[in-house]
Structure 1
Amino acid sequence: MPHRSMTVSGVEVTPLCDAVGSMGASIRRPPAEMFVGSGLRDEPWVLHFHCYLLRDGAGRLTLVDTGIGAADSPASSWAPVPGTLAGELAAAGVAPAEIGTVILTHLHSDHASGAVADGRPAFENARYVLQQAELDAARDLMLDEVVSKIKPQLHVVEGDAEVARGVHVHFAPGHTPGHQIARVGELAVTGDLVLHPVQLDDPAIRYVYDDDQEAAARTRAEVLAELRAERAIIATAHFSEPFLRL
């Protein structure tokens, strides 16, 4: 079942738990190696894979990220597939065809594989919002198995933009070249801006799978400082609890 929702600026925000589990052996490392300088102990890092459903006052629906996808998705080499996003949406009373906008924070397989089902866009009536820089950097499985399938429905933006009523995206590069976060009032859906709670205490702690670790740390520090100044709420992708007020 979905986590408890909250309403922010007239928009109901519902966390959807697509999966829970550790990284597969193909990319797993001890946490102390994945988060450089963190001092974390070498215990398994259990990830929660959250997507977020946004419902505005008129009933319009936006989905932020689409999870790990099916058993044969691009995430299958390392993530606990299949994801349960479809079931989570059903439990929230939503059919895929009702989604009008899908925001992909970035094209890593645990955030975008569920954009496609059975070789077709999983959300047939949605615009898929992606940063131009992320599209330009798309390669290999994600390009062939996801981007090419949703291309007719892509809504490409450059930088900050309002993509649905009251829902904005903000360019936040570093984790990937076109990583973006989503904002609704005082709430920020952060994608992989922050991977682990230790990075809230010290944004300079680097994550080994950031595409550009220096840029990611700089973006993380800048965005978190802005959000803290607002006392904003973050909605995270991989923490056990989806919402956290800064």
Structure 2
Amino acid sequence: MQNRMLCGILFGAMASGVFGAEGDAVFSYKVGAFDVYMLVENRGQGRPGILIDADKAALDKYLPGGAYQSETNTVLIRGQGKNVVIDTGFGGAIFDSMKKLGVDPGQVDAVLLTHMHGDHIGGMQKDGKALFPRAKVYLAQQERDFWTKTNVNQGAVAALEAYSGKVETFLPRELGTTLAEILPGISAMAAFGHTPGHTAFLIESSGKKLLIWGDLMHVQGIQFPLPDISVTYDTDPKMAAEVRRKILDYVVKNSIPIAGMHLTYPAIGTVKADGSGYRFVPEGI
């Protein structure tokens, strides 16, 4: 499935550790020895047409006015002597935000991919040249196979070809098993459904945790209270809904903060059980 997310307005202002105003584009968060930076790649206005089987009553209740803020984020992690990027967005504001944080793309050691939709790999290469020249790229084997063999996408192929010889694949493990550590303090969790190899990354240090769950959710206003609703971007909507509930239940029971590539700023916070669904409490609120 080709990614169809619309590019929104790019922002360049910075925030540090607190919930900020609409124009903020960087949110910092500590996970033990790791400094985690949520970088806003773009913002725009989303439409509920991407939601599958959302009835009028639900839309009126959770998305009054028929629109919502749509956001695409990337993540920079600094710690353990490494600079790690999770997803690269469209390749726009991520580089401006990194520059303000004092990190040059040439200083990035690893790029971890939650999946290979265009709004997650757009910043990997330009004209066949790797934009993170010294980085190794890590992604699920299932994801690589899907986009380069089963459902060939030239954008995905070009992104990986730019890192020839520096792409490492792994097999994400399911909840309830011992997760595979990709880098020190960073493990991969299977979150299949959105795409065949969609992966969440669990960050752990000094007893603290953060789950960066990629595209587990696109429209937080309705998918937290009604997590069984999927979106048209999901390759397998039924599986995506099942995995979403499973992971939401896991983070609630284990009190693990989460971060998402399509949650709105600050895009990091905690999840609480709320009736048959859930509610999100953004960090700093």
Give the % identical residues.
27
- What secondary structure is seen at the aligned counterpart in 2 of 1:114? coil
Q: CA deviation at 1:34?
A: 2.3
Deviation track 1:117-170 (CA, whole Å, cap 9, x = no partner) reads 332111111111110000111022323332222342211001242121101111
Name whichever structure is richer in helix by fraction: 1
Which residue number corresponds to residue 113 of structure 1? 122
Number of matched residues?
226
Which residue number corresponds to residue 197 of structure 2? 178
Change (3 A) 1:118 1:22: farther
* Residue 187 (structure 1) aligned to one of 207, 210, 216: 210
Which residue number corresponds to residue 210 of structure 1? 234
Which residue number corresponds to residue 21 of structure 1? 44
> Do structure 1's residue 158 and structure 2's residue 171 form an aligned pair?
yes
Q: CA deviation at 1:196?
A: 1.7
Change (3 A) 1:95 1:226: same
Which residue number corresponds to residue 106 of structure 2? 97
Q: CA deviation at 1:41?
A: 4.6
Change (3 A) 1:60 1:111: same
Which residue number corresponds to residue 279 of structure 2? none
Superposed CA RMSD = 1.7
Change (3 A) 1:61 1:206: same
- What secondary structure is seen at the aligned counterpart in 2 of 1:18? strand
Q: Partner letter of residue 130 of structure 2?
A: P
* Residue 262 (structure 2) aligned to one of 234, 238, 241: 238
**2:142 and 2:218 mapped to 1: Cα distance?**
21
> Do structure 1's residue 7 and structure 2's residue 26 form an aligned pair?
no
Which consecutive residues of structure 1, in runs of 5 or more, have no partner in the other structure? 24-29, 70-82
Q: Partner letter of residue 159 of structure 2?
A: V
Q: Partner letter of residue 186 of structure 2?
A: V
Which residue number corresponds to residue 51 of structure 1? 74
Which residue number corresponds to residue 223 of structure 2? 199
Q: Partner letter of residue 196 of structure 1?
A: V
- What secondary structure is seen at the aligned counterpart in 1 of 2:26? coil
Q: CA deviation at 1:10?
A: 1.6
Q: Partner letter of residue 270 of structure 2?
A: R
Q: Partner letter of residue 59 of structure 1?
A: G
Aligned residue runs from structure 1 range 137-148, under 5 A? 137-138=146-147, 139-148=152-161
**1:151 and 1:21 mapped to 2: Cα distance?**
34
Deviates more, 1:207-216 or 1:3-12: 3-12
- What secondary structure is seen at the aligned counterpart in 2 of 1:48? strand
Which consecutive residues of structure 2, in runs of 5 or more, have no partner in the other structure? 1-13, 15-24, 174-179, 272-285
Q: Partner letter of residue 227 of structure 1?
A: V
**1:4 and 1:143 mapped to 2: Cα distance?**
28
- What secondary structure is seen at the aligned counterpart in 2 of 1:182? strand
**2:97 and 2:127 mapped to 1: Cα distance?**
19
Q: Partner letter of residue 239 of structure 1?
A: L
Q: Which runs of 4+ in 1 moved over 4 A?
A: none
- What secondary structure is seen at the aligned counterpart in 1 of 2:123? helix
Which residue number corresponds to residue 27 of structure 1? none
**1:152 and 1:97 mapped to 2: Cα distance?**
17
Q: Partner letter of residue 70 of structure 2?
A: L
Alignment check: 8 A CA contact 1:9 1:184 kept: no
